[in-house]
């Protein structure tokens, strides 16, 4: 059956963090929170903030991996404050949430090598979609990054976990994408870097799956149920053709 539409993961598939980006975002979040708490009369140390953030991150990972959903920056901040047994006024909370969500603009992620060319090429022949789980930055911000990179207009469907209410590998995000793109699941290809979310989710949804390992390499002795694996983004159009794409 001919391929009609293609979906991409966002993180470590289309985009990857700029050098030092993750560390910078992490440090900025902790700095904003510590400053806000101490401005309200608190006396929190960097170590206390770091421990609370680590506990929240660990619990959030479990929610993501076991319940297939991601929390918003506001929800995650509230959980960090809970670990600190602290609170903040509504205005201060709003300011920190905005800083958490939009801090990524300070050192924005970059397109994976070859991604712009491939997206432009595929958009001429297929309908394209995004299926992405979020971190602190919501779909609203990730769309801004796509626009700045010059690829937003190539996509007909944008499914982010904060807007969809569930995360990969939940069947709903794949079904929503296929429906929006006007394709049956067996006419879809999903491209992503993570086996438990991208590949298993796609195959359960009856999509073809391509595992991109150019940013996130496979581990020693790791296996995959993907229909194809590549570290070269520019090879993706040829792979899609081999799976039944349009000649």
pLDDT of residue 42: 86
Write out the H or E segment, with its range, that includes residue 210: strand 208-212
Domain boundaries, the chain: 5-17+110-242, 21-106
Pick the CATH number of 5-17+110-242 from 3.40.920.10, 3.20.20.140, 3.40.50.620, 3.40.50.1000: 3.40.50.1000
Q: Are 224 and 218 in contact (CB under 8 A)?
A: yes
Burial 161-182 (b: 16+ CB within 10 A, else e): bbebebbbbbeebbebbbebbe
Q: How large is the average pLDDT for residues 40-69?
A: 95
Name the pTM for this structure.
Answer: 0.94
pLDDT of residue 245: 67
Mean pLDDT, the chain, whole residue set: 95
Categorize the per-residue pLDDT at 216 as very low, low, confident or very high, splitting at 50, 70 and 90.
very high
pLDDT of residue 22: 87
Distance CA 38, CA 55 (A): 21
Q: Are 131 and 168 in contact (CB under 8 A)?
A: yes
pLDDT of residue 108: 95
């Amino acid at each position: 059956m001919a391929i009609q539409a293609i979906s991409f993961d966002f993180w470590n598939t289309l985009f990857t963090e700029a050098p030092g980006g993750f560390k910078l975002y992490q440090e900025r979040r902790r700095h904003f929170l510590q400053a806000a708490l101490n401005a309200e009369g608190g006396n929190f140390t960097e170590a206390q903030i770091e421990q609370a953030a680590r506990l929240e991150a660990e619990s959030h990972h479990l929610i993501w991996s076991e319940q297939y959903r991601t929390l918003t920056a506001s929800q995650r901040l509230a959980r960090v404050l809970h670990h600190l047994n602290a609170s903040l006024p509504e205005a201060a909370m709003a300011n920190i949430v905005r800083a958490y969500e939009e801090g990524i603009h300070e050192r924005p992620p970059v397109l994976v090598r070859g991604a712009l060319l491939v997206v432009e090429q595929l958009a001429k022949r297929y309908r394209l979609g995004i299926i992405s789980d979020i971190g602190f930055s919501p779909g609203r911000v990730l769309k801004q990054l796509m626009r700045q990179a010059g690829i937003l207009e190539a996509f007909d469907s944008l499914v982010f976990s904060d807007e969809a209410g569930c995360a990969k590998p939940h069947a709903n995000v794949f079904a929503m994408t296929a429906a929006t793109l006007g394709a049956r699941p067996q006419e879809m290809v999903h491209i992503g870097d993570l086996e438990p979310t991208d590949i298993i989710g796609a195959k359960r949804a009856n999509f073809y799956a391509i595992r991109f390992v150019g940013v996130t390499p496979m581990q020693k002795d790791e296996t995959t149920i993907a229909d194809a694996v590549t570290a070269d983004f520019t090879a993706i159009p040829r792979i899609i053709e081999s799976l039944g794409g349009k000649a």
